[in-house]
Amino acid sequence: MSMAWSGRLQSPRRSAARAAAPLLACALAATVALGACAASTPRSAAAATVAAAFEHYCNFLRAMDHAGMAAMFTADGEIANPGQEPIRGPAAIDAFLSGFSGYRVLSYTSEGVSIVVRGDSAELAGIFHQRVRVPQGNVVEVAGHLAVQWSRDGTRGWLIQRAATSPL
């Protein structure tokens, strides 16, 4: 299974190398012409539905569909990264991610992805590796830990409550 996030999410005003880590992957973009969010065999039906929601998010990431990614967050969902204030709510997340529309994910892989489901909440964790072409044309490689907390909504299924990345 792979994830759609990369490195630390930062404002597009940051350096290209540091900014690439953010959105792309889940990054926060994910994988556009790249490898897949391939799911490992989940241990339960609930874990399978979380894996499917993650795959759906990865599809938005690959397409650099910032509105689609933002729509997968709960009303109070957030992107949280060390050293930054969390970005809260789908509208703020959409605005943040739209700043990365000039980035392109070249490859994305993840390893050691685990999913733990407890009732209407779930945690997905793993390590990602990503190559991203930034708007200036250079390619940046980023890697880090990813942690996604999910919440099951009665009508919309699994939504992201909190998504975070941190350097390896």
Q: What is the pLDDT along the chain (168 residues), one digit of tens a residue?
A: 333 333 333 434 444 344 434 444 434 433 222 223 444 444 689 999 998 998 898 788 777 899 999 999 999 999 998 888 999 999 999 999 999 989 998 887 778 789 999 999 999 998 988 888 999 999 999 999 999 999 999 899 999 999 999 998
Collapse the DSSP code of 140 into the 3-class scheme (helix H, G, I; strand E, B; otherwise coil) and give the result: strand
> Residue ranges per domain, the chain?
16-167
The DSSP code for 151 is E
What is the architecture of the domain spanning 16-167? Answer: Roll (3.10)
Q: Which strands make up the sheet holding 104-118, listed edge to edge?
A: 87-88, 73-80, 157-167, 139-153, 121-133, 104-118
- State how far the Cα of 16 lies from the Cα of 58, in Å rounded to an integer: 22
- State how far the Cα of 36 lies from the Cα of 74, in Å rounded to an integer: 25
